[in-house]
Homo-oligomer: A and B are copies of this chain.
């Protein structure tokens, strides 16, 4: 599993849409706080590899390493 603290450090850009505590301010952007860790990781991988097609999330996920994804998933699942 990832490291939640490391994930928090990498989450600044995510917070812009998903909220500082993982509760988004926009009804169309999902809350991430307390979401399932494996689900979060799988969705980030799918955004990265294009299996899940989303014009906003694709460029966000593209630069992420597997470790980044694991850490971010651990962080948001921990909220």
Contact = CB atoms under 8 A, between A and B. Distances in A.
A31 B36 contact: yes
A52 interface: yes
Stoichiometry, copies per complex: 2
A56 interface: no
Contact of A30 (B27, B28, B35): B35
Nearest to A26: B36
Given A24-B36, A28-B42, A30-B36, 10 more contacts: A27-B36, A27-B38, A28-B36, A29-B39, A30-B39, A31-B34, A31-B35, A31-B36, A51-B53, A52-B53
Interface of A: 24, 26-31, 34-39, 42, 51-53
